[in-house]
C-alpha cells in the first residue's frame, strides 16, 4: 500500500489477506453496533503496533509505517503484546497519582474512546424518530447545507429530507437524505431502495444511520453508473456531533507532573 493508508483502506486490505467472509465481518462488537468485532480488534492491533514503534498516525486519520523496510514476517506478536503491556504498566506506575488505578491494562485507551460513542448511540436510540430527523437536519445545516427540509413522507422510499450543498460558492448539488436509527447493519437492499426513490430527483444521496453498513451496502453506494450515495455510519455520526458540539461537549484536563531530576541539576 506504499507504507500508509486510511483506517478503511487498511481494514479492507486485512479482510482480503485474512480471507474473512461477509458473515464474520458483520458480527457487531456490541448491541449498539458502533463497530464490528473485526474493526474493534483491528483498532487494538493499530494501538499496539503504534506503542511498539512500528506504526504512527496523523491527525487526519492516516496510519503509516515508521520504517518502510520492516519485514512483517519477522515480527513476533506475543513479544509485541508483552512489550506494550509492560511499557504501559511502567508508565502508569511512574506517574504520581492520588488514587489507585483500577486497571493497568493498555486496553483502557481504546475502551474510553469507544465508550463515549456507545453511550451517545444509546441516547440517540431513545429519542423520538422525528427528533432524530431534526438532528440530522441540524447536522447538515451546521455542515454548510442550506434549504434543508425534513419531509418524512411515508411510502417515499425512505427519503426523510432534502437540502442543497454549495461548493466553493459556485457549484451546488441537490441532496436527498435518509436518516435511520438502527442497531444493526444497513444492507445493500436498503441502499438500493433509497437510490431508486431519489433517482432523477437529486444529484446525490446521503444515508445517515446510528448503526453501520454491510460491505455490500458500501459497494452498492459507490456502484459505477449509478447516482452516488455518501454513507455516514454510527461512528462517523458520533465524531461529527462531537466536532460540531451538538449535544456533545469535551473537557480537557490539565495534568501537572513534577520532575525532581530537573531540580537536582540546578
Q: What is the 3-state secondary structure (H, E, C) of the chain?
A: CCCEEEHHHHHHHHHHHHCCCHHHHCCECCCCCCCEHHHHHHHHHHHHHHHHCCEEECCCCEEEECCCCCCHHHCCHHHHHHHHHHHHHHHHHHCCCCCCCCCCCCCHHHHHHHHHHHHHHHHHCCCCHHHHHHHHHHHHHHCCEEEEEECCCCCCCCCCEEEEEEECCCEEEEEEEEEECCCCEECHHHHHHHHHHHCCCCCEEEEEECCEECHHHHHHHCCCCCCCEEEECHHHHHHHHHHCCCCCCCCCCCCCCCCHHHHHCC
Instruction: Tell me if 58 is assigned to some domain.
Output: yes
Do residues 136 and 156 share a domain?
yes
Do residues 158 and 238 share a domain?
yes
pLDDT in tens, the chain (266 residues): 778 888 888 998 999 999 998 889 888 887 766 788 898 899 999 999 999 999 988 766 788 888 877 888 888 999 999 999 888 777 666 655 444 444 444 455 555 556 888 899 999 999 988 889 989 999 999 888 888 999 866 555 678 999 999 887 778 889 999 999 888 889 999 999 999 998 888 889 999 999 989 889 999 999 988 888 999 999 999 999 999 889 998 888 888 888 888 888 77
Which CATH number do you get for residue 162? 3.40.1350.10
d(CA 130, CA 179): 10
For residue 55, what are the CA distances in angstroms to 111, 168, 234, 245? 20, 36, 26, 30
d(CA 186, CA 17): 25
Of 95, 119, 143, the position where a domain reaches its end is 119
Print the domain residue range for 16. Answer: 4-119
Do residues 23 and 91 share a domain?
yes
d(CA 61, CA 234): 17
Instruction: Tell me if 252 is assigned to some domain.
Output: no
Instruction: Tell me if 258 is assigned to some domain.
Output: no
d(CA 263, CA 179): 58
> Cell triple for residue 68?
518502510
Do residues 114 and 58 share a domain?
yes
Do residues 67 and 99 share a domain?
yes
- Residue 78 has a pLDDT of 92
In 3D space, the residue among 266, 260, 190 whose CA is nearest the CA of residue 231 turns out to be 190
Do residues 89 and 17 share a domain?
yes
| Sign of the alpha-carbon torsion through 245, 247, 248, 253 | positive
Q: How many domains does the chain have?
A: 2
- Residue 107 has a pLDDT of 54
Do residues 9 and 91 share a domain?
yes
pTM (two decimals): 0.66
Do residues 115 and 8 share a domain?
yes
Instruction: Tell me if 259 is assigned to some domain.
Output: no
- Total residues found in the chain within this entry: 266
Amino acid at each position: 500500500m506504499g507504507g500508509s493508508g486510511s483506517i478503511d483502506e487498511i481494514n479492507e486490505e486485512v479482510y482480503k489477506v485474512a480471507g474473512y467472509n461477509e458473515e464474520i465481518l458483520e458480527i457487531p462488537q456490541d448491541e449498539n453496533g458502533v463497530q464490528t468485532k473485526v474493526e474493534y480488534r483491528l483498532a487494538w492491533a493499530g494501538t499496539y503496533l503504534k506503542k511498539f514503534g512500528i506504526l504512527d498516525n496523523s491527525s487526519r486519520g492516516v496510519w503509516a509505517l515508521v520504517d518502510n523496510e520492516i519485514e512483517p514476517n519477522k515480527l513476533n506478536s506475543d513479544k509485541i503484546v508483552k512489550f506494550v503491556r509492560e511499557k504501559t504498566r511502567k508508565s502508569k506506575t511512574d506517574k504520581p497519582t492520588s488514587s489507585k488505578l483500577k486497571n493497568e491494562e493498555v486496553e483502557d485507551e481504546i475502551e474510553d474512546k469507544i465508550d463515549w460513542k456507545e453511550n451517545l448511540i444509546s441516547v440517540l436510540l431513545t429519542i423520538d424518530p422525528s427528533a432524530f430527523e431534526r438532528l440530522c437536519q441540524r447536522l447538515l445545516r451546521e455542515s454548510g447545507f442550506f434549504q434543508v427540509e425534513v419531509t418524512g413522507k411515508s411510502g417515499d422510499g425512505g427519503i426523510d429530507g432534502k437540502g442543497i450543498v454549495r461548493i466553493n460558492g459556485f457549484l451546488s448539488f441537490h441532496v436527498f437524505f435518509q436518516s435511520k436509527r438502527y442497531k444493526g447493519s444497513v444492507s445493500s437492499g436498503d441502499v438500493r431502495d433509497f437510490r431508486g426513490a431519489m433517482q432523477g430527483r437529486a444529484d446525490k444521496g446521503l444515508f445517515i444511520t446510528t448503526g453501520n453498513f454491510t460491505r455490500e451496502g458500501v459497494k452498492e453506494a459507490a456502484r459505477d453508473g449509478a447516482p452516488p450515495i455518501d454513507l455516514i455510519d454510527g461512528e462517523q455520526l458520533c465524531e461529527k456531533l462531537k466536532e460540531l458540539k451538538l449535544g456533545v461537549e469535551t473537557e480537557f484536563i490539565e495534568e501537572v507532573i513534577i520532575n525532581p531530576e530537573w531540580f537536582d541539576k540546578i
